[in-house]
Amino acid sequence: MNMILDSVRNRFMGRLFLSLCCLLLAGCGSSPDGPERFVLSGQVQLNGQPVPAGQVILMPDTEKGNKGPGAVGTIENGYWKTEPGKGPVSGPHIAMLNGYADTEATIPGGDPPVLFTEYKTEINVTADADNVDFNVSKKEK
């Protein structure tokens, strides 16, 4: 059983690391005078219930001609937000969400209980879009 948990955790951490590396590389070479970045926030729900913790990773959709730095928002108590000066640029984005049942691991040294990982959807960031809600649907097993 521990081998299975270790495998799942290693895959998850590897994907999270890869996503974060992509975001960091997307931001390389930008200066304080770089593209305008927007602060976004909103609600995150799973099957109509607030998601306690997690991340919203926003990656410019290069297939639709958007480029620039990505952004990461933190989910806390059903709400997410990006930090000022570190939000997304305008244009189409792919949003990848990871949701957790808690901020703390149930096993010392482990990860928090996972509700869902790599839920993907598309959003369009505009100058007047500051509130973006996500409603994740997941069928019960």
Which range scores top for mean pLDDT: 4-8, 20-24, 122-126?
122-126
Decide which of 6 and 85 is more confident: 85
Please write the tens of the pLDDT for every residue from 65-76. Answer: 999 899 999 999
**Domain topology for 2-28+35-136:** Immunoglobulin-like (2.60.40)
Which residue blocks in the chain are alpha helix, DSSP H? 2-27
Q: Give the angle subtended at the CA of 112 by the CAs of 39 and 72, to the nearest 5°.
A: 20
Please write the tens of the pLDDT for every residue from 93-115. Answer: 999 999 999 877 777 877 788 99
Phi/psi region, residue 25 (left: phi>0; alpha: psi -120 to 50; beta: rest), is alpha
pTM score, whole prediction:
0.73
- Sketch the domain layout of the chain as residue ranges: 2-28+35-136
Q: Report the pLDDT value the prediction gives residue 106, as an integer from 0 to 100.
A: 78
